[in-house]
Structure 1
Amino acid sequence: MKSIALLWFGIAVFSVGQAQAPEIFPDLVPNTQSNDSFKDQEWFEFRIHYGFFNASIATLKLEETILNNRPVFHAKGYGKTIGLARWFFKVEDHYESYFDPSSGVPYKAIRDIYEGGYTKDIETDFDHEAQEAFVHDKKKKTKTRIPISEKAQDFISAFYYLRNFLPPGELEPNRSFAINMFFDNDNYLFKLKYVGKETLNSKFGRVSCLKFKPIVQAGRVFKEKESVTLWVSDDRNRIPIRMQADLAIGSIKVDLEKFKNLKHPFRIEISQ
């Protein structure tokens, strides 16, 4: 149930696979225009549906700030169950990430969650030069150094990294690429396959989207390894419009509900 709860937090479309040896995929290259997809004070609200239930909401806000005397982006995510779902399974998730405005690599990640009685309160500091993560588990009162993969992303920074550093120019359908991630004290490869372009009917109107399939683990939670589908706006903002996941039992759909302070105009084909 905890894996499903992660999906309730709107950015959990980046579901990671099995822990693997460190590896870097060079075809995911930086955009020539740094920070071209987002800016200070960008804000999203997502609504998450589990089957017919309006199960939860999630918000994500981005701010410019200073961390250890260097300018960074500070992303703050919050997700919670609402309505009837909250009676059955209370979720209060806080995720934060401080990442470099140019390279996109994270310097600090914060995870403070409550999921049906399951709790975690963890701060992670990244040293990319030494390729180490310093993990402070406040609940267990432990501090641990763990080797990380090159340019490893955290749970939240990966969202912005992929928006800003997807291969520029034309994407070839069925092309796959990957990034290194560090989550829950493990190194992972997050793999993503580009399917093609698709026009999606949304609450804002018809939106031209890039369609992706994150590669997840088939089994207890997901039906198949390509059970998750993500639609991202085919414009310079690269914002997530919808995510849908077919689970072993039921399905989850995440829709963009509101947004503010996008860096570029949001392109809509036909207003509804």
Structure 2
Amino acid sequence: MAEGTIETVGYSTFLNRSPKLFNVFSILMKSQIRQSVASTLALLAVTGCAGKSVGKIDISAELPKELPVELQQKFEIRDSSVNAQQQSKVVSASPVSAKATVAKLQAQSKNKALKASQVGAKAKTGGPADEAVPAVFEYPNRRPKIDPIWLAEKHVFEITYFGVAAGDFTLEVLPFKTMAERRVYHVRGTAISSSLFSMFYRLNDTVETYIDYDGLFSHRFHLVLDETKQARDSLELYDSEKRQTFYWNRWNRREKGYSEKKEFFPIESFSQDMLSSLYYLRTVPLPTGAVVTFPVVSEGKSWEAVVTVMRREVLDTPMGRVNTIVLKPETKLQGVLQKKGDSFLWLTDDERRFVVKLEAKVKIGTVVATLKNVDRGQTPGGGEAAQ
């Protein structure tokens, strides 16, 4: 990776037909691409009457039977009892060689019956000996010196289109969970249309991501849409070790009816989803002029996010008048930068990197998400932070 880059954030797509439900952060990362994933920051620009909602999808906590038992167990969501301050021992972002594995075995083995000659035999390359001691897959440690993401923190945004309040989007960090034997952040977003917009188009959407505590990449992404013209349950499981994602999408649309898709797709290890990318950005250095890039996976497809640090500026926020970092997110598809209209993201220029504003130019007008309330959450040492 070239100097000055850091790695990717997630993004998605939106319908460019009416009625429209826009995903703010998705638009920021990948505007003008079809097939709406109404999640991260729901933005509405709708026409027509709401009418009767489509039938809801039966949401089950069980994974499909076609999914191997190994993966079902790996991506099971479990409560975590691990102390938030305890860090895992893995630090490498890539597999280590058989030779390195043997050295580790020699240093750590307490079995006196295991002779050095036996261990050395396993280190030979070019044959079955390599299979006897497979490469050990280890995860990156990207922990920032100061963690900006605190448990119980909450952002509440007002979404406006042409100056009219379209709805609210709430992001909150829930208690830690365990997945794939690793501690993960559990982040949930909910989007609810305003009473006025609900007369035209109603939505009550939820999106969840499970972000590796040490590696700061996504393990699992879940999107549930409950809207006037569509109901959807979309699940993605990201297996960085096998470099693949399992994508299960159930979609009921008024005009097209019900469809279901279950597929495996190749991905880059340690990718972001379209919500985890926002939290990942809060953890990386952002000097003015820098360009941050990283891999993102959405709906089984891989992209590259390119985020330019434009400038610093002062904004009025619920926290008072604060210094902010202005970012310009763009999308690179198959190595080609997509120019589809300017979008911007504002983060506080401090240790917390709160999201205070998002702005995206769409085909007609501009969609804006403005922070209207923030709960700083619990300090890493415990207790509530001063508001």
Matched pairs, number: 245
Deviations 1:140-159 (A, max 9, x none): 44421100123211111111
**Counterpart residue number, 2:21:** 5
1:230 to 2:345 alignment: yes
Deviations 1:140-193 (A, max 9, x none): 4442110012321111111111111x226xx132x3221111112211111111
2:350 match: secondary structure: coil
Deviations 1:51-83 (A, max 9, x none): 121111011111212235432111111112112
Q: Of 264, 274, 280, which residue of structure 2 is paired with 1:161?
A: 280
**Counterpart residue number, 1:104:** 216
**Counterpart residue number, 2:166:** 55
Query: Which structure has the greater CA radius of gyration?
Result: 2
Aligned ranges for residues 94-243 of structure 1 at < 5 Å? 94-139=206-251, 140-164=259-283, 166-167=284-285, 171-173=287-289, 175-215=290-330, 225=340, 227-243=342-358
1:158 match: secondary structure: helix
8 Å contact from structure 2 (residues 166, 196) kept in 1: yes
User: TM-score under structure 1 normalisation?
Assistant: 0.80
**Counterpart residue number, 2:373:** 258
1:102 match: secondary structure: coil
* Higher fraction of strand: 1
User: TM-score under structure 2 normalisation?
Assistant: 0.58
**Counterpart residue number, 1:66:** 178
8 Å contact from structure 1 (residues 216, 227) kept in 2: no
* Deviation of 1:226 (Å): 5.0
**Counterpart residue number, 2:201:** 89
Alignment CA distance shift 1:68-1:216 (3 Å): closer
* Deviation of 1:216 (Å): 5.5
Q: Of 39, 42, 56, which residue of structure 1 is paired with 2:153?
A: 42
Q: Distance in 1 between matches of 2:345 and 2:248?
A: 32
Give the percent of matched residue pairs that are identical in Structure 1 and Structure 2.
21
8 Å contact from structure 2 (residues 28, 344) kept in 1: no
Q: Distance in 2 between matches of 1:111 and 1:122?
A: 5
Q: Distance in 2 between matches of 1:202 and 1:82?
A: 21
1:207 aligned partner, one-letter code: V
* Deviation of 1:214 (Å): 1.2
2:267 aligned partner, one-letter code: I
Structure 2: give runs of 5+ residues left out of the alignment.
Answer: 1-13, 34-140, 252-258, 333-338, 380-384
